[in-house]
Amino acid sequence: MEEATLVPGPSCDYILGTMPPMSSGGLKLPKGTLKKLSLGQSFAEYDKLLDRDNVYVETPALRAAFDDGLGKSFFVGRRGTGKTAITLFLQKKFSGKVLLLLPQLLVPVGRFFDASTMQDVHQQPFKSLVSSFKRAILDEVLRHWISRGRFSYRTNSPPALSRERNYIEDYDFDISLLAFSEESLEALSKNQDKEWLRGINRWKEIGEALDGFMEPQSDKTIMLIDRVDESWDGSDKAVILLMAMMHACVELSSSCSCVRPLIFLRENVFERVRLIDKEFARLETFVTSLEWTKEQLVELVERRLNVPLIAKYALKGDTWRAFFEDGATQTSQDLVFGYCQYIPGDVLIYCSFAIETAQSKLREKVLIEDLLQARKRFSDSRLKDLSDEYSDNFPQLQLVLGRFFGLGSEFTVRGMEDFVKKLLVDEEIKKGCASWIFQYTQPEIFIELLFNIGFVGIKDEKVVYFRSLGSQSTTPPAISSEAIVVVHPSYRESLNLRDILINSLDPLVPLAEGGLLPELPHGIRIDDYNLKIQLLRDQLKTLPSGDKHADEFANLTGEVVRLCLFKSLTNVEPKVRSVDGRVIRDWIAANRALEGFWEVVRQKYGATQIIFECKNYADLEASDFHQVSYYMNDTIGRFAALVFRGGEIKKHYYEHIRRIAAEKKGMVLFLTDRDIDILLRQAINGKSSEAHLQEIYDRTVREAS
């Protein structure tokens, strides 16, 4: 097949076509420049380069976040499109005025209502949720003002704010939301109309009081609500809660001067709201998509390439040509952007792999052969990331994608129909993907699913359309019986696809198992693995707290570490004594991570070993923190996880963390029942737990500081 590249097409879809080569310009780097070059991390939460102002690229989404006058509240994009980078940019530019909120209770609130009663946004149950979110958000603004010294209860405060004092001092956002929702929905269920009306109007009184304390308009607090997908289970109740929060943010933006709430969402999460919300048109005008053009992506890479240089090269191509050599028939830009899906994170990963290849060969410039050699490594990374991104929607998606291994890069509709038939008789697929695979038995529906996640495109004559980024409609081109389904180039290396058209598959020949296989602990099959995980979830729900069952809880925690964190933590041992026998740690695991959250922990805290201390009770005491602190030393590191049964991280816990950070330069990670259940749920879905652990860590660091 002809080598081709991806170029932007109509409506920001991607079209497979060819592009003319560009001249290299003859630029030459100072000797040794490439040897010390690093493009930083593709995941913004780990990327230290984002501390520099000159690495940011001005995109429409960044302008919309920066400019209140554009009226945007929701920022929607796929993983790696720059949502977290925007939050970091705003925190730098508006220091002291930005409040980062990582909501945790979008699922527990759901136990107070039935999803069917919340479908109509105009009815009382949904209004109760919206008002609870508005009040909880405004209370969070008040907490922020108090922490910054902008407000104090010692002065004459308005009655509306005085009534909130107990919530402000004793609760955080999540517990406040839980309390307000329970109070409002209970009044509604008991037909206490006066109490219900008083409750749902409380946010107006708080908002007016906060607006009254505003000095200049520049004092407005920007609330960044991020990583919502890490704290929900994908159920209809979770979608309704997210929908209520979105409506609350829109209403607060138009009615209160004290706060500007911004929500950052993944596309797969946003699409669920689009399908359920009958009043979605009210929200759509507040949405901006995180879309990137080729020019912006080139600038993104060039700004990072220029970081180590004293004399900077010009942007718009000159810097790129100084670092990347063009071929005789195809440019280096064609190779990069013809292989990536116009996602910034993917572009950075691919370019980083190519640079590392060139560095290993002691080159002074990245050659075409380095880009080609980096493809297999990038393809493996991209396929794994795709499955992880959509694991909440389609658990164990990697099993289905892995079954394409060794087949062709193009399929007819009939060929795809044969493929689906083989999936439906595959025992591993039926067990691992039972929650969703049987909804996609029709070939057209299955093709649409693969198109929506960006795995395939649809060929129309000689043009291949791949799904666009952003929040546009994900509807694929018409799938006729003559349509050709084309696997995206970035997945072909990992799946070892051949350049052939698959028109039919022999029903007697089984599908191969290759490409992206499920990552499981050694010696465990996927059905046994899922069964073990589900049994642990059931045990967690029924296990009583208290000393009598302390060993059972400790054993459960050890199994969670073994089954959920095995990719980074190995050699897990229970009841480990120190040399002198005075210290007994519940669990200790070797930290052998080479990337991601656990690698950051190892580098920052010297944590070659991770301690897990288990407490089968809800309320932690000072002695618990002293005990964990005593474990920390220079030999094993200064990082530990404190696993306990509480559902709430109390404010005074962070005082102990602050002391440990000051005395030991260490850190403690809180893991509650809910966090353990999230790790187990993500393991069943085949999703990495790194993002959730990073979220807990970030929240702890911010609160303790």
Regions of the chain short of the pLDDT cut 70: 1-27, 105-112, 115, 215-218, 230-234, 468-476, 513-520, 522-523, 575-585
- What pLDDT was estimated at residue 484? 92
Q: Which amino acid is at 686?
A: G
C-alpha span between 341 and 541 (Å, rounded) = 42
Going by C-beta distance under 8 Å and a sequence separation of 6 or more, which residues neighbour residue 178?
A: 105, 108, 109
Cβ atoms < 10 Å from Cβ of 181: 26
Element (DSSP H or E) covering residue 452: helix 443-452
Q: How remote is the C-alpha of 646 from its chain's centroid?
A: 25
- What pLDDT was estimated at residue 12? 37
C-alpha span between 476 and 275 (Å, rounded) = 16
Give residue-wise pLDDT tens across range 370-383.
Answer: 999 999 999 998 99
Global pTM reads: 0.75
- What pLDDT was estimated at residue 582? 44
Cβ atoms < 10 Å from Cβ of 529: 17
C-alpha span between 457 and 459 (Å, rounded) = 7
Whether the Cβ atoms of residue 561 and residue 547 lie closer than 8 Å to each other? no
Which among 690, 464, 704, 692 has a CA at the least distance from the CA of 594? Answer: 690
- What pLDDT was estimated at residue 525? 73
CA gyration radius, the chain: 26
- What stretches of 214-367 adopt beta strand conformation (E)? 221-225, 259-266, 287-289
C-alpha span between 430 and 441 (Å, rounded) = 12
Domains (range + CATH), the chain? 60-289 (no CATH), 294-389 (no CATH), 397-502 (no CATH), 526-704 (3.40.91.30)
Placement of tokens 């297999």 in the chain: 376
